[in-house]
Amino acid sequence: MSRSKLRRFAANAERPTIVEPGKETYEQLAGRWHADFFENDHPITLEVGCGKGEYTVGLAARYPGGNFLGLDIKGDRIWKGSTLALEQGLSNVGWLRTRAHELAAHFAPGELHEIWITFPDPRPRDRDIKRRLTFPRFLDLYQHILRPGGRLHLKTDNEGLFDYTLETLQQRPGATIVAQTRDLYATPELLPHAEDIQTTFERKYRELGVPIKYVQFELS
């Protein structure tokens, strides 16, 4: 492991905004995020697969009356997001280093207000279909930890993942598609819903002329 990564992991271990394996708070905050972590009752929004944390930080900066969490398994990415939040002086954002399939160990039923999935790995091979973040087992997890009526958002450049997600939602009892578009920036009326905060991936694909797909939905 490089020295820079070692320094970043050491910094993560000292940052109270980062919840990760080895810390006392890991797996002890389910049902306690409001009281013990954020110390307020503001609604909590989770970004699953937050990468470098640009979207999580962007949401936290835009909505100071909310709480925001970025989830990723990579400690180096978590360090970048938490550093960005520190540079901006944000106190309403935190980070959870874990895998998406372990969500139920970290959140109580109905604890979250909203979930964002921004530019996830599309897992295009059929053998990886169960790893897609909109596969039914993940939707079950999201539904479990979201409050009734809580919304989910997916932004992606990938046509295959977008089609798969729409088909999965259409086949799921109780799922409701609230809004969708295959070209977000050609659908300006949806931009307020989709939050025009752009990650590195989003800027890259827009520069290449790749349309950004977006769907907002509920599970019940």
Per annotation, catalytic residue among 36, 121, 128, 196? 121
Residue 47 known to bind ligand: yes
Task: Give one DSSP letter per residue of the chain, joined into a string.
Answer: --HHHHHHHHHHHH-TTEE-TTSTTTT--TTTIIIIII-S---EEEEES-TTSHHHHHHHHH-TTSEEEEEES-HHHHHHHHHHHHHTT-SSEEEEES-GGGGGGT--TT-EEEEEEES-----SGGGGGGSTTSHHHHHHHHHHEEEEEEEEEEES-HHHHHHHHHHHHHSTT-EEEEEES-GGG-GGGHHHH-----HHHHHHHHTTPPPEEEEEE--
Residue 128 known to bind ligand: no
Residue 201 known to bind ligand: yes
Residue 72 known to bind ligand: yes
Structure tokens at 158: 């990938």
Residue 196 known to bind ligand: no
Q: Is 126 a catalytic residue?
A: no
CA 181 to chain centre: 20
Residue 134 known to bind ligand: no
What residues are designated binding site?
47, 72, 121, 157, 199-202
Positions marked catalytic: 121
Residues annotated within the binding site for substrate are: 157, 199-202
Q: Which residues are annotated as a binding site for S-adenosyl-L-methionine?
A: 47, 72, 121
